[in-house]
A and B are shown apart, each in its own frame.
Chain A
Amino acid sequence: MYPAPWLPLRRLSVWAEERAPAALLSLKVLLTLLAVAHLALVFLLPGGRNTFLALEARDRLPHLTFWRVGGAFGFPDFPRKDGFIRYAIYAQNGSVQQGSFPNPDIRPDLRYTRWAAAGRLVSGDRPDMHAKLLLYLLEHLPSPPLKVELFAGDWVLEAPPITDGAAVRVRRLGTHDGLSQAWKPVSRAGNQ
């Protein structure tokens, strides 16, 4: 029994059956054209940015199927310098604990790579991040320190690096006074 006699089901099914192969073919062709368009976009805007054609997308994080131009062999984007943070913690018993962020002794390598990316960002001219990093350091100390000093360092390539290695430039970012619990950043003018 027909649930809806006004529907020309037989004619519709014949119509659909006749057109199904053509519809499938059209879908396939459309899919391949979309794929070509997608790959063209990947080529023009890898990772949202094309340094050669000076194009840039709003969304800069390499997303979904976009690939950042860099080393397909995993080398980072050829940095000339690599930033990191050094700290000196003056404890109440008179000892001085020095360390760097990221810690080069961290293993495995992938873990260090993530910390190195963080260190690169924090060692820049970001006073807000320096203050937050100081809080993080203080939270992980067993006892309140007398003083904490933060420095930003850069490994800088100086030619020829393969034979001579890299030089280090360090600048002071600020000091945390344990008594007043205050963080005094170094002003940018006197930061060298």
Chain B
Amino acid sequence: VNPREPVWERGLRVWLQFWFDLPSVTALAFLRIAVGVVLFYSLFVYSFDLSGHLSATGWGDLTVLRQADPVAWPFSVFDWIESTWWLWIAHSLAMLAAGAFALGVIPSLTGLLSLLFYLSYGHRNPAVMVDLDALLVMLLVYLILSPCGRVMALVPELFRRPRRYPLMPPEPDPPRPPWGAFMIRLLQLQLCLMYFLSGISSMFPEWLSGSLLIPPGLAERGLPVGLEGFRSSPTGAVALAFALTLLSLFYGVLVWLPRFRYAVLGVTSLAHFIVGVMWGLLAFNMLMIALNVVFVEDEHLEWVRHRVGPLLTLPWLPAPPHA
């Protein structure tokens, strides 16, 4: 630190360091794979009810449904489609784009395509939008603008000279552009805001009493798993409701303290896993666990990548030339 440095210059330097000096593209790559896989799964689940939800002969009048949740620009590629056959073609293309995004094939382009397709589903029939969709759209927007395909991406690894197996750790390390750091900071701050908003919105007696842990009608499906345990011990439900609220409220503070960071990430991931399995909200909570990766130190993610990467190589390919 230069003691003669003016305060405003030091402030500016620290401010810009905070936003741009976080050299990591690995977290973005992990997040890209998670978002791509969940997006693909969500589209796969759409396949069961494609014409029911999206075609003109579906269960709802699409014009009326759109009025139920108006948006400023309700574009949808499905508006150009009349027949069920073309609906399936467009749906297959959307799944293809999602798969390519997960594999890291030109993620800025395949991510943008995935975003346009996914918004098209929501705009065509907003009545079947769920929280998972909002989270997926948000993460897609961030990832499209970030260098999320620098590592663990299929195409750059295949075209590298000398040729290497897909998903193997590249050598030398890829460049780490400053806008990647900027995106990670944005994701970190937005994640903290999400938890905090969720925490303050759940601070009311009904939630804290554990009553709303079982949404009406959910028991009809046998959810949550272990419901009988809650019925025999309502104290457990109260404890869980309080724990989730406290975790949401204080996550945004504790996760920035290096001493508590991994403890908070561990507890949060465990809570997401339990809620996901017990309440049947696995896709959403898995995505939230993946989003927490943005707080993991880059060197630890690199350690995982260099060990997991070789395990994911395709054994039927010939040996790489430099091996």
Contact = CB atoms under 8 A, between A and B. Distances in A.
Interface of A: 25, 28-29, 31-32, 35, 38-39, 42-43, 46-47, 51-52, 58-76, 78-82, 84, 101, 104, 108-118, 121-122, 126, 128-129, 132-133, 136, 139, 154-157, 159-163, 165-166
Nearest to A121: B127
A29 B16 contact: yes
Interface in B246-298: 248, 271-272, 275-276, 279-285, 288
Given A82-B215, A162-B230, A136 B52 contact: yes
B12 interface: yes
B126 A61 contact: yes
Interface string B176-195: 00100010011001100111
A84 to B, nearest CB: 7
28 contacts: A28-B19, A32-B15, A39-B189, A39-B190, A42-B190, A51-B201, A59-B70, A63-B71, A67-B197, A71-B198, A73-B285, A75-B213, A76-B215, A79-B216, A82-B217, A108-B45, A109-B281, A111-B48, A111-B49, A121-B65, A121-B127, A154-B216, A155-B217, A157-B211, A157-B216, A161-B214, A162-B230, A162-B231
B216 A82 contact: yes
Contacts of A38: 186
A101 B15 CA distance: 53
Interface of A is mostly: mixed
Given A58-B72, A155-B220, A162-B210, A69 B244 contact: no
The CB with the most chain B CB atoms within 10 A, among A52, A69, A74, A166, is that of: A74
Given A64-B137, A65-B141, 20 more contacts: A32-B19, A35-B182, A39-B186, A60-B71, A65-B138, A69-B197, A69-B201, A74-B288, A75-B212, A78-B207, A78-B212, A80-B212, A82-B217, A109-B280, A114-B45, A118-B128, A159-B211, A162-B210, A165-B219, A166-B219
Interface string B69-97: 11110000000000000000000000000
B193 A118 contact: no
Given A61-B126, A114-B49, A118-B60, A104 B220 contact: yes
B216 A32 contact: no
Contacts of A112: 221, 280
Given A65-B142, A73-B244, A117 B283 contact: no
Interface string B236-252: 01000000100010000
A160 B211 contact: yes
A71 B212 CA distance: 12
B80 to A, nearest CB: 21
Nearest to B12: A29
A117 B134 CA distance: 14
Contacts of B20: 28
A43 B193 contact: yes
A64 B193 contact: no
